Structure 1
Amino acid sequence: MTTPSSPADLTIVPIETPTLGDRSYLVHDGDVAFVVDPQRDIDRVTDLLAEHGVRLTHVLETHIHNDYVTGGFALARATGAAYLVNAADDVSFERTPISDGDVVEVGDRMRLTALATPGHTFTHLSYALRDLGPEADSPGRDVGVFSGGSLLFGATGRPDLLGPEHTDELVRHQHASAHRLAELLPDDAGVFPTHGFGSFCSATQSDATSSTIGREKQANPVLTQDEETYVRELLAGLGAWPAYYAHMAPANAAGPAAPDLSPPALADATDLRRRVEAGEWVVDLRNRTVFAAGHAAGTLNFGLDGSFATYLGWLVPWGTPITLLGETAEDVAEAQRELVRIGIDRPAAHATGGPEDWSTRAPVSFPTATFADLAQVRHHRDVVVLDVRRADEHAAGAIDGAENVPLHELWNRIDEVPAGEVWVHCASGYRASIAASMLHARGRTTVAVDDSFADAAAAGLDLVGPES
């Protein structure tokens, strides 16, 4: 999406990564450009530079990211752009150091001012953009702020990713940083965050797709609540975050190279069976409906139609070889692109086609059902109801008698799932399919509930918890 309001305006191009809940930004004046917080697959940026016919002069990081591997270092090297990273960050590569109050001129009309906004990390920077105008005597205007993981739409970046010993200090920094931005910038200035579109780096989520400082002053708790209320309510609402986050900051501090997106080795059915038996993860990328109807025994379902990289990166024991199964080469390539963003650089192998191509014996399957089906079956036989939502989701309202093993804990806790036929559910079906594939691979009799949890009560199931 390009957001100029007139030919004389600067052009701001958000680069969406919806599966991780992030945005990067390309900003240009028709001649030169800068990029903020680029993702690992930098070809998306270079393609945009060519499309817009502009030259990249600066790459800026708001912080050392915890939820993805940056493409900033590789992009700067590929284009010759200056790579701006906080002077206080401990990194192992050469960069253009930048600190609070530093001003960077990009071309003749774009002026960036670095603003220290600690909270998401201690060294977090935001960048205020002023358009000096196309004419020498133009009064200029404050376009907005690239706020990274500081001020988000209706929220802020979470303050607990650096460890519990730092959380209280960081959440208070976050409150002060948001107020600093609100005081320095006019109400009509845009807010351009990196996180907050589904990212677990966001403390809470919003459906907003754009915002301004004025709008955030009216609606964002960090700007409408006093510090103590904000701190108390934000900390009470924080849930689990993906395990792979622990590997992101070290990778980013090392200056990650551009990824290799060439196809991995091709595997046949015999090789796939060997990989499953060796304890490797063979991942079926198809959607949950077709997976349930038939798949190669022992394979796991992480569909490309959901938060594929987030959940695969969260659940796989780090370093386990991963083989990708897709209906087409394009599916495999899409999965590879998703995975390099979180530091899983080279799949062990891949195969295309369908389960009949991936199996040395007949494909296997398991049933899918609705919550109404579950209500009916509980009238005439005992089944295990397994809720794989997060603990906070389960506590807010759950099916009476359901066992709760959050999906991100299930691989190591499968033996805790009670014996019997397991009906597994989540909030909408995506996580339930992952869990069902894990249980089925371990030999359990499994039914995947592919339904919205919002329909559970109307289906006749008794709910317990505060929202029941």
Structure 2
Amino acid sequence: MIEIVPIETPALGDRSYLVTDGEVAFVVDPQRDIDRFLTLAAERGVRITHVFETHIHNDYVTGGLALARETGAEYHVGAGDDVAFDRRPVADGDVVEIGAGMRVRALATPGHTFTHLSYALEAPGRAPAVFTGGSLLYGSTGRPDLLGPDHTHELVRAQYGSARRLARELPDETEVYPTHGFGSFCSSTQSDAGSSTLGQEKLGNPVLTLDEHEYVESLLAGLDAYPAYYAHMGPANAAGPGAPDLSPPRRADAAELRRRIEAGEWVVDLRTRTAFAAGHLAGALNFGLDGSFATYLGWVIPWGTPLTLLGETAEDVATAQRELVRIGIDRPEAAATGGPADWVGEDTPRTLPTATFEQLGEVRHHRPVVVLDVRRDLERKESHIEGSVHIPLQDLPRRTAEIPDGEVWVHCASGYRASIAASILAAAGRRVVTVDDGYRPEIASALPLTGTP
């Protein structure tokens, strides 16, 4: 009996898959931390014999090459992809027989990239399945703009044709298994669906219900910024990344933490924004593990900046390491565990005021403050506070000089990004308050603020 096991990476909004017949297995689009796949195979008593990549990924560093080397599996990468390592090239129409009855057929599905492939699985006794990578997603499709604006219009039309090809050539009962679409910025939109078939997608997916012009126009209108670290993922994957080093970082004492901050390095506090506000090491930046930690850290940090991690426990630091290697930040310079009392030495922990939107409205009746909105452009376009300053979080480190003088009250949609932004501004010496509150459209009319002192 065929088993398809999704391996979730919710922090990046992606899924990988292990598929087994009970004797052997293949893996599709593995993430960098390959121990997860090795553990799953060992638990089932199966041998991984093949690894497939749907495309050269833009949102994470693949574990495909390392997994193939570790297991001796054949590594199938698109024949059209220019890579620096040996692999088993695969092209449209190629068929790979796996085990006693699994048959995998490659289908060219350009759109997310020019050389994107999907893989259709046929096996006795079960419905067909198709691993669609960044092509056909649940209720959506993969983004066509990650290779640059010069290619977007060609790729979005290719994406339309690819989705239509899958719907035309495969039966309605075909199960759909995408890599993206669960929060990944590689998806043009997001879906709450956990499973789907081609028949279900034909009923509601815009790429299969709209004509080409309507699909292209609606998809392009909904695209927003994507993380800056994406620029480094494709080259890393084409070069052939090895297995990550997840061993514990060297321990840093309070004096070393202070030296690193003074040298302009990043010391990142992994605790929740509530804990950070209550007390933290001056100059530390708050990227809590309770949110999209790696996505926003990778987006905001100047690439290559030395990084030290602060966590309540060694397990927190290990979790952060695992998330970071997935986006190519391989080794922290150091780490420390405990709490502010362990990190500040002879100094006193700093605090960071927090407030609600109601309190923001009240304070504006008494004194002027700067209101800083760090949400993305599309969020801002839907609704915003009149007179607020808008600098998306990812642009903040290079645009802090644009923020008017005075006390800054910073908000996002929930408080997570606002805390990151507030920690950046506090480290730069600004007086700042984190609006740790959920933004709602009615707030925009309730707080018609000028935003400047």
1:44 aligned to 2:36?
A: yes
SS of the residue corresponding to residue 318 of structure 2 reads helix
8 Å contact kept, 1:397–1:463: no
Aligned counterpart in structure 1 of residue 164 of structure 2, from 176, 179, 182: 179
Matching of residue 84 in structure 1 with residue 50 in structure 2: no
Counterparts in 2 of 1:392-431, with a 5 A limit?
392-431=378-417
Q: Secondary structure at the match of 2:83?
A: coil
How far did 1:456 drift? 5.3
In the alignment, the residues of structure 2 paired with residue 309 and residue 396 of structure 1 have an alpha-carbon distance, to the nearest angstrom, of 26
**Matching residue within 123, 141, 155 for 2:115:** 123
Partner-residue secondary structure (3-state), 2:136? coil
AA in 2 matched with 1:213 = L
Any gaps of 5 or more consecutive residues in structure 1?
1-8, 134-140
2:431 matches 1:445: yes
Q: Quick one: which amino acid aligns to residue 112 of structure 1?
A: V
Q: Distance in 2 between matches of 1:451 and 1:188?
A: 44
Quick one: distance in 1 between partners of 2:147 and 2:363?
46
- How big is the shift at 1:189? 1.2
Cα offset for 1:260? 0.4
Deviations 1:30-70 (A, max 9, x none): 11110000000000000000111111110000000000000
Q: Which runs of structure 1 show a deviation greater than 3 angstroms over 4 or more consecutive aligned residues?
A: none
Cα deviation per residue 1:356-415 (whole Å; 9 max; x = unaligned)? 111130010111111111111111111111000012211110011111000000000011
What is the CA distance between 1:458 and its match in structure 2? 8.9
CA distance in 2, matches of 1:31, 1:449: 54
Aligned 1:190-205 pairs, distance under 5 A:
190-205=175-190
Q: Give me the whole-angstrom Cα distance separating, in 1, the residues matched to 2:401 and 2:259.
A: 24
Kept in 2, the 8 Å contact 1:244–1:318? The answer is yes
| TM-score, with length taken from structure 1 | 0.94
Matching residue of 1:137: none
Distance in 2, Cα, partners of 1:432 & 1:206: 25
Alignment of 1:284 onto 2:280: no
Match of 2:294 in 1: 309
Percent of aligned pairs with the same amino acid: 71
Q: Does residue 1:62 correspond to 2:54, yes or no?
A: yes
Structure 1 SS opposite 2:360? helix
Rounded to whole Å, the distance in 1 between the matches of 2:29 and 2:8 is 11
Determine helix, strand or coil for the equivalent of 1:398: coil
Structure 1 residue 166 corresponds to structure 2 residue 158: no
CA distance in 2, matches of 1:457, 1:318: 36
Question: 2:26 aligns to what?
Answer: 34
* CA drift at 1:462: 3.8
Which digits, 9 at most, give the CA deviation of each residue in 1:229-277, with x for residues without a partner? 1111111111001000000011101111000000111100000000000
Distance 1:458 1:320 in 2: 37
Q: CA separation in 2, counterparts of 1:379 and 1:192?
A: 53
Asked if the contact 2:383–2:444 (Cα under 8 Å) also holds between the matched residues in 1, the reply is no
Residues 203-212 or 307-316, more deviating? 203-212
Cα drift, residue 463 of structure 1: 8.9
Distance in 2, Cα, partners of 1:450 & 1:333: 27
Equivalent residue for 1:364, pick from 350, 354, 366: 350
User: Residue 17 and residue 307 in structure 1: after superposition, are their counterparts in 2 closer, same or farther (change >3 A)?
Assistant: same
- Distance, in Å, in 1 between the alignment partners of 2:90 and 2:381 is 44
What corresponds to 1:461 in structure 2? 447
> Could you tell me how far apart the structure 1 residues matched to 2:289 and 2:172 are?
39
Secondary structure of the residue aligned to 1:325 is strand
Distance 1:155 1:22 in 2: 14
**1:399-450 Cα distance to aligned partner (Å, 9 max, x none):** 1111100000000001111111111000011100000000111111111011
User: Which string of whole-angstrom CA distances, capped at 9 and with x for unpartnered residues, describes residues 308-354 of structure 1?
Assistant: 00000011000000000000000000000000000000001000000
- Residue 137 of structure 2 aligns to a residue whose secondary structure is coil
Contact 1:371/1:459 (8 A) holds in 2: no
Correspondence for 1:16: 8
Select the residue among 328, 352, 370 that pairs with 1:384. Answer: 370
Secondary structure of the 1:92 match is coil
Is 2:335 the partner of 1:343? no
RMSD of equivalent CA atoms: 1.3
CA contact (8 A) 1:142 1:186 kept: no
Matched, 1:253 2:238: yes
| Equivalences, count | 449
| Corresponding residue for residue 6 of structure 1 | none
Task: Find the counterpart in structure 2 of residue 110 from structure 1.
Answer: 102
What does the per-residue CA deviation read over 1:108-145, in whole Å, with 9 as the maximum and x for residues that have no partner?
11111000000000000000011124xxxxxxx54210
Residue pairs, 1:234-273, within 5 angstroms: 234-273=219-258
1:318 maps to 2:303: yes
Asked if the contact 2:310/2:317 (under 8 Å) is kept, the reply is: yes
Q: Residue type matched to 2:341 in 1?
A: E
Matched to 1:398, the amino acid is: H
How many angstroms apart in 2 are the aligned matches of 1:458 and 1:240? Answer: 23
Q: Distance in 1 between matches of 2:95 and 2:167?
A: 19
AA of the residue aligned to 1:210: S
Residues 107, 118 of structure 2: 8 Å contact kept: yes
Structure 2 contact 111–157 (Cα < 8 Å) conserved: yes
- The answer to whether the aligner puts 1:148 opposite 2:133 as a matched pair is yes
Deviation at 1:461, TM superposition (A): 2.2
C-alpha distance in 1 between matches for 2:72 and 2:79 = 20
How far 1:455 moved relative to its partner? 7.0
- Whether 2:292 is the aligned partner of 1:300: answer no
Q: Secondary structure at the match of 1:453?
A: coil
SS of 2:434 mapped into structure 1 = strand
